[in-house]
Structure 1
Amino acid sequence: METKTIEINKDLVTVLRILLSMIFIVASIMHTFKVEKVVDRINHARFSELGYLLGKPEISVIASGIAMFIAGIALLIGFNTKYAAIVLALILIPITITIQVGQMSTIGPLFKNVAIFGGLMFFALNNNFNNFKKTKA
């Protein structure tokens, strides 16, 4: 398979990385400090039983909050960007399926998560950012 190279503005990639990381850092605070509210959302979701697959949802909520914070900070500062993006994607998938799939009231957040997943895949699949050329905007 032939790989094509395109020029991307390095500054825009940095802005994308920072903006993408912020949603996870903010969400991690909710998952860590407002556990009851997140568990309540799980309990009222159409696929709420998925929130109980690993046991008490409180444990999963706190663990995902800690992981989102660590990976979000890593993405923010550009440290192990590929792996940070993969970790965040692996957290985003079950959250999206459990909370947003199957409910018309969450169709907007569902597609927001799909777009966020696309951003994470950009960083997971394009981890050679040192080779990006700084281009004039």
Structure 2
Amino acid sequence: MKTYLRTNYRSVIMLRIMLSGIFLVASFNHLVNAEKTAKRIQQANFKGIAYFFGEPKFLVILSGAVMLLAGASFLIGYRTKWAAMILTAVLIPITLTIQVGQITTLGPLFKNIAILGGLLFFIINDFKNHKNEIQ
């Protein structure tokens, strides 16, 4: 038996808009400061995760472009579930590579865990039936 929770749709829109901001800012940083961001990967304790996927500078630029496109899609509510899945796929390796290896600073790790929770909200819940949401 399914149980449904009533949610104010405006709060869902606000959550989506506010959550998209971090990806748009991060994408800008990845694209404008690719060298600096790649150095962070090279200095990370778990840099092997990143190297599994490719050369750090290429990954920084690729993740910046993906976060920009998926973040913009997420912001405007276009294919929200897909955008959230793509952003999750980008955020997990970043979190494992950079934040998990820096256990001395737990704030950024739990920030990313909270962001993942927000993305999971949009992946799990179906907003196709709302007139303001284009899926």
Report what 2:19 is aligned to: 20
8 Å CA contact retained: 2:50, 2:97: yes
8 Å CA contact retained: 1:24, 1:68: yes
Equivalent residues in 2 for 1:1-137 (5 A)? 2-128=1-127, 130-131=129-130
Q: Distance in 2 between matches of 1:42 and 1:20?
A: 24
Q: Distance in 1 between matches of 2:120 and 2:53?
A: 26
| CA deviation map 1:67-108 (0-9, x unaligned) | 000000001000000000000000000000000113223311
Aligned AA for 1:92?
Answer: L
8 Å CA contact retained: 2:42, 2:56: no
Aligned AA for 2:30?
Answer: H
Displacement after TM superposition at 1:7 (Å): 0.6
8 Å CA contact retained: 1:81, 1:127: no
Q: Structure 2-normalised TM-score?
A: 0.92
Q: Distance in 1 between matches of 2:122 and 2:58?
A: 28
Q: Distance in 1 between matches of 2:33 and 2:104?
A: 22
List 4+ stretches of structure 1 deviating above 6 A.
none
Aligned AA for 1:35?
Answer: A
8 Å CA contact retained: 1:86, 1:124: yes
Q: Distance in 1 between matches of 2:122 and 2:3?
A: 17
Q: Structure 1-normalised TM-score?
A: 0.90
Displacement after TM superposition at 1:129 (Å): 5.1
Q: Distance in 1 between matches of 2:15 and 2:28?
A: 21
User: Taking CA–CA contacts closer than 8 Å with sequence separation of 6 or more, which of the two structures ends up with the larger relative contact order?
Assistant: 1
Query: May I ask how many residue pairs the two structures share in their alignment?
Result: 131
Aligned AA for 1:19?
Answer: M
Question: Any unmatched runs of 5+ in structure 2?
Answer: none
Identity in percent: 49
Aligned AA for 2:100?
Answer: V
Q: Distance in 1 between matches of 2:37 and 2:85?
A: 23
The more displaced of 79-88 and 40-49 is 40-49
Displacement after TM superposition at 1:45 (Å): 1.0
Question: Any unmatched runs of 5+ in structure 1?
Answer: 133-137
How big is the alpha-carbon RMSD for the aligned residues of Structure 1 and Structure 2? Answer: 1.4
